[in-house]
Structure 1
Amino acid sequence: MKNDEQINIKQASQVVILKLGEEAYLNILKMSSYKKNAFTYATIVAVGGFIFGLDAALISGTVNFITEEFSLNPLQLGFVVGAPSIGVLLALFFAGSACNYLGRKKTLQIIAALYLVSAVSSALAPSYWALVAARFLGGLAFSSISVASMYIGEIAPPKWRGKLVSMTQINIVLGLSAAYFINYLIIQFTNSDAAWVDDLGLRENTWRWMLGSEILPALIWLTLLYFIPRSPSWLMFNGKSEEAKNTLRKIIPEDEVILNIQEMQKSMDIGEQDHSIVSQLKQIFSKPMRVTFIIATTIAIAQQSTGINAILFYAPTVFEQIGGGSDAAFMQSIWIGLTSVVFTILGLLLVDKLGRRPLIIWGMVWIILSLGLCFYGFNSARYTINNNAIVELNEINNPERLNAIVGVEYDSDISFKKALEETLGEVDARNHESVLIQKAAKINAILILIGILSFIAAFHFSVGPVMWVLFSEIFPISIRGIAIPFFTLLTSIVSSMVQVFFPKQLATFGISNTLLFYAITVAVGLVILYKYLIETKGLTIEEIQLKLQNK
């Protein structure tokens, strides 16, 4: 009986499948292809985030090497590290126009080419200023984040938009993690006795190999971008409605294409019909856009005021302040990358479930508490050089010069560094700062490490990825090509200031007061966003516009 029942069930199933018909079966296959296409296009574009993360974090491993090779002071070091963030300021003035006139796809291809040229030029840079120029050129490509968010937001169905836009942030942290691992791996190779290390010049050109590791990924991304379609929103913006429909048919069901075209047309009709840059900028500052402007401005400033790029771009330098030494600092930097990946993925999984507002508000509270923990740990640290430490200092010529400060307790990193400069001179103090802090520091390293990793987790769980999700949602199509680059320019200005002045802040205010400053600025942003930030989860771009205007 049991076998007869199984045969009957199987026959019944076959009948049901036959009744579905060939057309229905093909429709099922086609429906699965919509999601596949959307994810494929988004993934390719989001690879730009990986290149960005790689470019951003590789420099962290080169800081000590280029400082010594080019005899850099803190401001010069900040300038070479922050050169890309200055370059992006220039790029963002043209990114909006390029997106509108050339299209999102062509703009992304130009950006990928810039990454490639910058990576080659940085690895071969013969001088300090050549390195600055090469990194500045790479900064022109940093607009990839805003352009990628724009493109993905325009091809993603509303229910997937949060996840797909956040893929850029996932790729950023994967790039960061890869960069820290590459730097650590190269350091380990340089410490080995393998003959091939000398054959490749790895020991003499450590920082060049670090920066050159970006070349292959940049080339791969440039190639992949030839396989994505042009944005349907851009096609509609430029009067190419038939091509827009053809693109939409690849990413949504046929019966939704006309509705999407109509919604895009309505979004374009909001505000003025004049699509000039001046007209779009006027609309950004207009009264109907007031709440949108407040939200975008606040989160653009607050995201970078967290000091995230100070930690990411100077990770080994920050960890050296804990007193673990240079090798330990490179290893601990890998933990930053791993933490970033885990919590970005977690944020991605929850952004469409919990919503944008809870993630940002509670994430910023978490960031403030984490920075406060780091402030407490560094502020309570004490620094003392003893006679045993001086005996062990083989790296320094004439270590007896330190006898003048033996047994003296310093209550901050800044006072200890000043004492080192007075006894060793500026150059020797800077070159041997890591090992001297390692010998002298009495610090709760575990507490600070937990605070830093907690901060990294909070950022990548909240304002890191969610800001780009908001940017892809809160602007109407009629001004998005200018609005997203405009507010990305604002966040890039803050990022540039953080990166360029962080070494100077360390030398002037110390690590604890610098982190406290970041926490205070984030708290100000939290108050403003708590009042004005709306929830955009699950809404179409047109519904979001109405909600913002009603608020």
Structure 2
Amino acid sequence: MVSTNNNVTKYALIAAFGGFVFGLDAANLSGAVRYISSYFELTSSQVGFVAGITLWGVIFALFFTGMLCEWFGRKKVLIAIAIGYALSSLLSATAVSYEMLAFGRFIGGLAFASITVSAMYVGEITPPSQRGKFVSVNQFMIALGLLLAFIINYFLLRGLSVNEYLNGENVWRFMLGSELVANVIWLSLLFLVPESPRWLLKKGREEEARQAFAKLVPADQIESTVVAVRESLSKDNEANSMREIWGQLKTLFSGRMRLVLAIAVVYAITQGATGMNAVLFFAPMIFEQVGMSVEDTFMQTVSMGVFGLVATVIAIFSIERLGRRFLTLAGLALVIIAHTSTWYSFSNATYDISPKTITEVSEILIDERVDVSKLNKLAGTSFENDVALKAALANEFNKSELPLVTGPVINASINGVIAPLALFGIFLFLAAFNLSIGPIMWVIFSEIFPNKIRSVAMPVAALVQTISSILVTQPLPWLLDVIGTASVFMVYALVGVVGFVVMFFILPETKGKSIEMIEKDLVRT
């Protein structure tokens, strides 16, 4: 018994290590983005595209992930994904053009499918009483990856002033390339895990499935588990057609799956559109709006990473006790409060360019590529919001200077923002997300879809989540320039309100139930 439990833990952690790599990748970009923008002289739309193209890669991958998982199994797909992450790191870190960087990020987006496949795999190898905890480990690994990346970025930034080999033109290469070590480690570990026994049974490879189950459940439960899974896979006359991808899709969108699909779609949209990916990708940029120095923004991202990791650990140990429904609804209520707080803190901010402001910017900004004297043209000018300030800066500074000078100017000129309330909102959102909709969405996805369509259904649900994330992440730099920080967070709050109301009425409790039991409860016969 102890041996099989240890095996489940080991295999779940290895599969979820893809989440760690994902976290590294997302947070490394957040640190590198200002330097990338300056190096390639990008517009705000291009900056958004560099972040958003990874999500377009996810969409492309999700069209094939289900088929590949169905044809080759979960393990082989995870191995291919690990190779994709490594290739993405190499291309991104050595990019010599904006196009090459975007292509490298796109490859990384293809590998982001690891989150879906890992959740699928972990959901299929863990017992019902522990499934929520183990699938939530995926979010823990993401949070751990984020934290490590934030720490790496912070020390690389500190190294700009003391290391002769680091400068504003190459530091981003070290940030994006630092995850390559984790890529190689994950790829090596994946060869140690068994294939999903449920997939093996679905393919008629019963002896191999029994051997896999022998590593996962006590010997006296192997036969009963095999029987239960076999009955689920052959429940109705559609069993044969379920082996075909289009047959699975047809069943997923049939009337009998209406409630299951509604739960998945609403959860996916809510999780993606409440703004987590945007906050992750552009965390330093957002902290700048509070009035922090560049170094302070990087230090705050480290604090943010620690906070997120602690919240995820709490979620892992609470999900089986408090349940999926309670944590989801409570988390969304906190998300609404968090975004409303951040919106209010920025709503009355103003910006004054005085001689003191210009002096402070000169002291903060030591990069020789920026001609701070250009600020003299704006001396004595006040701006009612950050949109007007950024527009004025864009008229004075070129595309190489603007990403480097904007943060220090905001830091030195901001007035009226309630910084503690803004930080409270951002950190509360981070805690709420990692306590609830972050990890629990993948638990729900791994539970509500029947065995015979899960390999297609989970990528479809993830596709909805990714599209939702793209609509939030890619336009963020442009939206910060056009409608301002306060309005952006109000939009996120409204998304949380709609998600809370809908899920209050349709989200069931699934804790402690086997995948087969949940299917009987949710799927119309």
1:437 and 2:405 equivalent?
Answer: no
Deviations 1:170-221 (A, max 9, x none): 00000011111100011111221xxxx33x4566410001111011110010
Paired residue secondary structure (1:159):
coil
- Read off the aligned partner of 2:371 and give its amino acid letter: N
2:188 corresponding residue in structure 1: 223
Deviations 1:22-67 (A, max 9, x none): xxxxxxxxx1101001101111111111001101110011111111
Structure 1 residues 79-228: aligned runs within 5 Å: 79-192=49-162, 197-198=163-164, 200-201=165-166, 204-228=169-193
1:329 corresponding residue in structure 2: 297
- Read off the aligned partner of 1:420 and give its amino acid letter: L
- Residue 398 of structure 1 deviates from its aligned partner by 5.8
Deviations 1:104-139 (A, max 9, x none): 000000000000111111111111110110111111
Paired residue secondary structure (1:322):
coil
- Read off the aligned partner of 2:357 and give its amino acid letter: A
2:284 corresponding residue in structure 1: 316
- Read off the aligned partner of 1:39 and give its amino acid letter: T
Rounded to whole Å, the distance in 1 between the matches of 2:167 and 2:191 is 35
Paired residue secondary structure (2:474):
helix
Structure 1 residues 36-435: aligned runs within 5 Å: 36-192=6-162, 197-198=163-164, 200-201=165-166, 204-271=169-236, 272-273=238-239, 274=241, 275-394=243-362, 395=365, 397=371, 399=373, 401-404=375-378, 406-408=380-382, 410-424=383-397, 428-435=401-408
Rounded to whole Å, the distance in 1 between the matches of 2:378 and 2:55 is 42
Rounded to whole Å, the distance in 1 between the matches of 2:84 and 2:397 is 42
Deviations 1:119-162 (A, max 9, x none): 11111111111011011111110000000000001100111111
Rounded to whole Å, the distance in 2 between the matches of 1:134 and 1:159 is 40
- Read off the aligned partner of 1:90 and give its amino acid letter: F
Deviations 1:90-116 (A, max 9, x none): 111110011011000000000000001
- Read off the aligned partner of 1:432 and give its amino acid letter: V
- Contact 1:285 1:293 (C-alpha < 8 Å) held by counterparts: yes
Report the number of matched residues.
515
Paired residue secondary structure (1:536):
coil
Rounded to whole Å, the distance in 1 between the matches of 2:502 and 2:63 is 27
In structure 1, the gaps of 5 or more residues are 1-30
- Residue 403 of structure 1 deviates from its aligned partner by 4.6
Rounded to whole Å, the distance in 1 between the matches of 2:166 and 2:371 is 26
TM-score norm. by structure 1 comes to 0.91
- Residue 268 of structure 1 deviates from its aligned partner by 1.2
Paired residue secondary structure (1:329):
helix
- Read off the aligned partner of 1:379 and give its amino acid letter: S
Q: Which has the larger radius of gyration?
A: 1
- Read off the aligned partner of 2:56 and give its amino acid letter: I
1:511 and 2:479 equivalent?
Answer: no
Paired residue secondary structure (2:322):
coil
- Residue 495 of structure 1 deviates from its aligned partner by 1.4
- Residue 400 of structure 1 deviates from its aligned partner by 6.1
- Residue 425 of structure 1 deviates from its aligned partner by 6.2
Paired residue secondary structure (1:353):
helix
Rounded to whole Å, the distance in 1 between the matches of 2:429 and 2:48 is 22
Runs of 4+ in 1 over 6 A off after TM superposition: none
- Residue 426 of structure 1 deviates from its aligned partner by 6.4
Rounded to whole Å, the distance in 2 between the matches of 1:71 and 1:425 is 8
1:20 corresponding residue in structure 2: none
- Contact 2:334 2:432 (C-alpha < 8 Å) held by counterparts: yes
- Contact 1:202 1:209 (C-alpha < 8 Å) held by counterparts: no
Q: 1:254 to 1:374 in 2, by over 3 A?
A: same
1:537 and 2:502 equivalent?
Answer: no
TM-score norm. by structure 2 comes to 0.95
Paired residue secondary structure (1:235):
helix
Paired residue secondary structure (1:534):
coil
Q: Which is worse superposed, 379-388 or 51-60?
A: 379-388
- Read off the aligned partner of 2:394 and give its amino acid letter: E
- Contact 1:310 1:502 (C-alpha < 8 Å) held by counterparts: yes
1:523 corresponding residue in structure 2: 497
Rounded to whole Å, the distance in 2 between the matches of 1:432 and 1:59 is 19
Paired residue secondary structure (1:295):
helix
2:454 corresponding residue in structure 1: 480
2:476 corresponding residue in structure 1: 502
- Contact 1:83 1:139 (C-alpha < 8 Å) held by counterparts: yes
- Residue 233 of structure 1 deviates from its aligned partner by 0.7
Q: 1:404 to 1:57 in 2, by over 3 A?
A: closer
Task: Kindly report the root-mean-square deviation, in angstroms, between the aligned alpha carbons of the 2 structures.
Answer: 1.6
Rounded to whole Å, the distance in 2 between the matches of 1:428 and 1:113 is 36
| Percent of paired sites with the same residue | 40
- Read off the aligned partner of 2:189 and give its amino acid letter: L
Rounded to whole Å, the distance in 2 between the matches of 1:281 and 1:398 is 58
- Contact 1:393 1:399 (C-alpha < 8 Å) held by counterparts: no
1:10 corresponding residue in structure 2: none
- Residue 430 of structure 1 deviates from its aligned partner by 4.3
Rounded to whole Å, the distance in 1 between the matches of 2:430 and 2:196 is 33
- Residue 421 of structure 1 deviates from its aligned partner by 3.0
Rounded to whole Å, the distance in 1 between the matches of 2:323 and 2:458 is 21
- Contact 2:256 2:524 (C-alpha < 8 Å) held by counterparts: no
1:25 corresponding residue in structure 2: none
